[in-house]
Amino acid sequence: MTSDYFQFKVIHQSKKSRARVGQIITPHGVIDTPNFVPVGTNGAMKGVDSQLLEKSNVQLMFCNTYHLMLQPGEEIVANAGGLHTFMNRTQPIITDSGGFQVFSLMYGGVASEIKSKGTKSHNNSIVKISEDGVTFRSYRDGKMIHLTAETSIQAQKKLGADIILSFDELPPYHIDAAALKKSFDRTHRWEERSLIEHKKNPNNQALYCIVHGGIDDNLRKTSVEILKKLDFDGYAIGGSVGKNREEMILMLQNLMPHMPYNKPNHLLGIADLPSIEQSIPLGIDTFDSSHPSKCARHGKLFTENGDLNILRSGNNQRFEPISETCDCYTCKNYTIAYLNHLFKAHELSAYTLATIHNTQFITNLMKNYREKILNDLL
């Protein structure tokens, strides 16, 4: 798939699985795939400024349109010269449509909706959902906001990320077949409208569609068939991906062979280490999630030997880095004992240093996966 400003190349197809090494080429640089995409919701990764993040080998960063629309507002970002200039990031950025956050607010968050078995009462921030789009109330100032395929794409044009996402509805996990089908059909109409709006002003941006269908294999297959007829630059897998990893992997096993081979495939919102390991052989190219940085802020640090709980007793006298082989800023400069102390003293730099480590650990892990694929070992 080629355009002036966006390309995806498969560099090597593993002989062992559907895993592939590729390159996504964007106006702000190359993303080697498979790769991890950390989340900087507000145009900033929590605790790590943009320049420091670029030193952690992060090739693509995920920002949330919903949050940026509410604060500072897409107009201010546009006046700054776009998101790259505003946050001083020179490398590629992807934004979502805002739909995910609006709808997940409605269910009080994806994880808690799944746990609630569908009994979770709805949040009243959403005022109205119609064929046109969704109307909700800003949590910041109570202002009414009307989000549609068109307004979401227009906002993403103003933010100016390299990759943008179609506007979609996030149906809950606990949904009956009829309601899922209704949401499914509307979501695909919204995606087509997103594409039409995008084509009016491509703005050197690539538009990804979002494959829906929950954990219904036939719906997932149908979704890909519908979307393949349209000219999207990449394919994200969204909607509910199941109540646990097993359900998600089963769904992906059935879905991935139907995905277009020559377009990048992104798995939305999932990047825990076991899910990455199991999804790469199925052909997933990029993974975004705030999970690694949340772990970091809770003192759960990634190592080759599993997670290190920095607050565990005994860690106050370990005068060695988190990982002897890690080349991150934190491991090059600080010991487990010092990090244990910073966490116990509630020092802000604890969160920064832990986040840098987990982020670079996972980007390094991705590099290792790419090397394995190049050698047909994965």
Residues involved in catalysis = 96, 288
Give me the amino acid identity at 293: S
Nearest CB to its own copies, comparing residues 51 and 368: 51
- Which of the ranges 21-29, 239-247, 265-273, 339-347 carries the binding residues for its own copies, by CB under 8 A? 339-347
Residues 54-93 that bind its own copies (CB under 8 A): 67, 71-72, 76, 79-81, 86-88
- Which of the ranges 13-21, 244-252, 343-351, 358-366 carries the binding residues for its own copies, by CB under 8 A? 343-351
Residues 6+ away with beta carbon under 8 Å from 35: 59, 60, 285, 286, 287, 363, 366
Query: How far is the CA of 61 from the CAs of 16, 52, 297, 334, in angstroms?
Result: 29, 13, 18, 26
- Which of the ranges 25-33, 159-167, 283-291, 326-334 carries the binding residues for its own copies, by CB under 8 A? 326-334
φ, ψ of residue 123 in degrees (nearest 5): -80, 145
CB of 190 to its own copies, least distance (A): 28
- Which of the ranges 21-29, 128-136, 275-283, 332-340 carries the binding residues for its own copies, by CB under 8 A? 332-340
Looking up tokens 């009994």 gives 119
Helix ranges (DSSP H) in the chain: 50-54, 65-70, 74-80, 83-87, 99-106, 110-115, 149-159, 177-200, 217-228, 245-255, 273-279, 291-297, 329-333, 336-344, 348-374
Contact pick of 317, 325, 368, 375 for its own copies (by CB under 8 A): 317
Binding flag, residue 334, its own copies (CB under 8 A):
yes
Using CA of residue 23, residue 262, residue 12, residue 17, what is the dihedral sign? positive
Retrieve residue 34's tokens.
């498979």
Contact pick of 329, 367, 372, 374 for its own copies (by CB under 8 A): 329
By three-state DSSP, how is residue 101 classified?
A: helix
Retrieve residue 250's tokens.
């089963």
- Which of the ranges 13-21, 41-49, 100-108, 264-272 carries the binding residues for its own copies, by CB under 8 A? 41-49
Binding flag, residue 50, its own copies (CB under 8 A):
yes
CB of 126 to its own copies, least distance (A): 22
Nearest CB to its own copies, comparing residues 231 and 327: 327
Q: Measured between alpha carbons, how far apart are the two ends of the chain, in Å?
A: 25
CB of 323 to its own copies, least distance (A): 17
CA distance 375 to 378: 8
Binding flag, residue 249, its own copies (CB under 8 A):
no
Looking up tokens 């240093």 gives 353
CA distance 269 to 123: 21
CB of 118 to its own copies, least distance (A): 32
CB of 242 to its own copies, least distance (A): 31
**DSSP letters along 225-294, please?**
HHHHTS--SEEEE-S---SSHHHHHHHHHHHGGGS-TTS-EEETT---HHHHHHHGGGT--EEEESHHHH
CB of 247 to its own copies, least distance (A): 34
Binding flag, residue 338, its own copies (CB under 8 A):
yes
Cα three-residue angle 258-261-267, rounded to 5 degrees? 75
CB of 205 to its own copies, least distance (A): 22
Nearest CB to its own copies, comparing residues 274 and 319: 319
Residues 168-227 that bind its own copies (CB under 8 A): none
Q: How many CA atoms lie within 13 A of 376 on its CB side?
A: 4
Contact pick of 347, 368, 371, 375 for its own copies (by CB under 8 A): 347
Task: Give the interface with its own copies as residue ranges (CB under 8 A).
Answer: 42-51, 67, 71-72, 76, 79-81, 86-88, 316-317, 319, 329, 333-335, 337-338, 340-342, 344-345, 347-349, 351-353
